[in-house]
Amino acid sequence: MQITKHSVASIEYTLTDDGGQVIDTSEGRGPLVYLHGAGNLIPGLESQLEGKAVGDEFQSRIEPADAYGERDDRMVQDVPRAQLPAEVDVTVGMQFQAQGPAGVQVVTVVGVEGDTVKMDGNHPLAGVTLNFDVKVVEVREATAEEVEHGHVHGAGGHQH
């Protein structure tokens, strides 16, 4: 069975940057189970998986435009310290969830200067070229309910 729209596929993967640094991997955690064709993966990886079958292994180099997008310097903003929780010791690298125009957005503290905190709303992987090493380990048809919800149920998916 091949991966196509509304397949549920399980994949083992390792993701590295161009320097060979591992960013993410399914190793030790079990395969990623996802509903194909529902925008659950970055576009560059989902299109590579189309038509693949159990046992297929491949490497894919995905440019930022087909992954988490290019960095946008306008998303780096100075925020008054007073807008952040007083009880939190704000340090560089810390992440907050903020309500943005496109829903919940993760912002990262990239600088603290006096009463001003520099926040970066870019995805941490924006501007990064991704190198995937992928193996397809299972493919099945999605249930009608999974298609309706747009995500996978059961092991590796939503438990509800």
Which residues are near Zn ion by CB under 5 A?
A: 149, 158
CA distance 87 to 4: 49
Nearer to Zn ion, 81 or 158 (CB): 158
Q: Which is nearer to Zn ion, 82 or 144 (by Cβ)?
A: 144
Are the C-beta atoms of residues 95 and 84 closer than 8 Å to each other? no
At residue 18, φ and ψ (nearest 5 deg) are: -65, -15
Residue 147 CB, nearest approach to Zn ion (Å) = 10
Closest approach of Cβ 154 to Zn ion, in Å?
A: 10
CA distance 44 to 66: 5
Q: 62, 59, 22: which is closest to 42 by C-alpha?
A: 62
Nearer to Zn ion, 15 or 41 (CB): 41
Q: How far is the CB of 126 from Zn ion (least distance, A)?
A: 28
